[in-house]
Amino acid sequence: MSSSSHYACIYDTRTALLENAIPFIESGLSAGEPVLVVTSAATREAIASALPPHTSGITFEDAPSWYDAPGRAMTRYVTFWRELEAQGATSLRIVGEPLAAPIHSDRLERWEFFENAVNRAVRDYPFTMMCTYDASLEHVAPCCAQVSHPYLAHDGFFIENAAYVPPSVYAQSRIDRPLHVPAQGVAFMQFSQETTGDARHFIQLASADFGLDAFDSFDFVVAAGEAIANAVEHGGGSGSIRLFASDRELVCDVQSDGNENVDPLHGYEPPAPTGERGRGIWMMRQLCDWVELRPHADGNTIRLHKSLPPPAA
């Protein structure tokens, strides 16, 4: 049994939100447990006005900037916790609203993956998490909430969620879906141990061509460099790169020709600050907006997504 627990609160009215969220928050505060609330401005307003004035021990954060990318959102939870832990805290209660920002339907899938991966990534942390979902948002109930939360909050009670799919099973179902590659506009390069530097230069030049600025291009090359190094070190020693633009993002596939198996759930939890190894995949998740790890029969593909700047008006 994990020490963290993860509840979903799917609400259709403000009253339904508050009758679940407020007792959840108050039971934490009364036990002296720090509470982190990461929501939209509207949800924050509703929660704050339902609590006694000057309630202490609660930290409000803005959901759209907190949940800007799945990998970074997870890191923010852990970073927040590490600071509290250093001050002597023994547990943390979180109210989160990952879909608070307007999210395009083609980005929902990654947040569903994130919400599911949370169950694995925070299993060793003393977190009690409640994710609130506005039922009026399209796709919310079937997607993020139902498959990703072991428990549902309803009428002020917690009930076990029969639709919950554990991360290992969920991830397997997701990696079996094929990766879409456009028929045209794909830059391609093969690399080996001797040409990893050339492969990075290729990505750097191409990412500038696709419109990334010097900083974003640098971050993207560093992320891709880890995927390339992975292919050379742990894979068969060679691989290939595909680069293309898709849905307002630059996408880079790094395929390794080897039988290494990547874990699709790897790299969400930040490694300890004192270790020498183990930063690679976590780093990709910090520097990119979405990272997919796809093991397959003859190697694996790491797909990196980086938002492109909006086209000039």
- Which range of residues in 224-232, 242-250, 293-301, 304-312 is near other proteins by CB under 8 A? 224-232
Is the Cβ of residue 33 or residue 219 nearer to other proteins in the bound state? 219
Among 63, 212, 283, 308, contact with other proteins (rule: CB under 8 A): 283
Cβ contacts of 84 within 8 Å, gap of 6 or more: 34, 92
Q: Is 256 in the site for other proteins (CB under 8 A)?
A: no
Q: Which of residues 56-95 bind other proteins (CB under 8 A)?
A: 72, 75, 78-79, 82
Q: Which of residues 226-255 bind other proteins (CB under 8 A)?
A: 226, 229, 232-233
Tokens of 37: 């609330």
Looking at residue 150, the DSSP 8-state letter turns out to be S
Is the Cβ of residue 98 or residue 280 nearer to other proteins in the bound state? 280
Type of residue numbered 240: S
Beta carbon of residue 308, minimum distance to other proteins (angstroms, whole number): 18
The number of residues that bind other proteins (CB under 8 A) is 34
Q: Is 195 in the site for other proteins (CB under 8 A)?
A: no
Among 25, 153, 287, 293, contact with other proteins (rule: CB under 8 A): 287
Q: What is the DSSP string of 50-71?
A: HSPTT--SEEEEEHHHHTSSHH
The angle formed by the CA atoms of residues 165, 167 and 169, to the nearest 5 degrees, is 65
CA dihedral 256, 286, 129, 116 (to 10 degrees): -20
Is the Cβ of residue 29 or residue 189 nearer to other proteins in the bound state? 189
Neighbours of 2 (CB within 10 A): 13
Is the Cβ of residue 272 or residue 312 nearer to other proteins in the bound state? 272
> How far from chain centre, in Å, is Cα 192?
30
Is residue 9 within 8 Å of residue 17, measured between CB atoms? yes
Q: Is 297 in the site for other proteins (CB under 8 A)?
A: no
Is residue 280 within 8 Å of residue 222, measured between CB atoms? no
Distance CA 157, CA 94 (A): 17
3-state DSSP percent of the chain in helix, strand and coil, to 5: 40, 25, 35
Distance CA 37, CA 17 (A): 13
Q: Is 50 exposed, middle or buried (0-12, 13-18, 19+ CB in 10 A)?
A: middle
Is the Cβ of residue 62 or residue 68 nearer to other proteins in the bound state? 68
Is residue 144 within 8 Å of residue 112, measured between CB atoms? yes
Among 99, 280, 294, 303, contact with other proteins (rule: CB under 8 A): 280
Among 145, 221, 250, 293, contact with other proteins (rule: CB under 8 A): 221
Among 178, 273, 310, 311, contact with other proteins (rule: CB under 8 A): 273
Beta carbon of residue 97, minimum distance to other proteins (angstroms, whole number): 22
Q: Is 276 in the site for other proteins (CB under 8 A)?
A: yes
Is residue 137 within 8 Å of residue 99, measured between CB atoms? yes
Is the Cβ of residue 28 or residue 225 nearer to other proteins in the bound state? 225
Beta carbon of residue 289, minimum distance to other proteins (angstroms, whole number): 12
Distance CA 75, CA 87 (A): 19
Q: Which of residues 9-38 bind other proteins (CB under 8 A)?
A: none
Among 282, 299, 300, 308, contact with other proteins (rule: CB under 8 A): 282
Residues that bind other proteins (CB under 8 A): 72, 75, 78-79, 82, 196-197, 200, 214-215, 218-219, 221-222, 225-226, 229, 232-233, 270-280, 282-283, 286-287
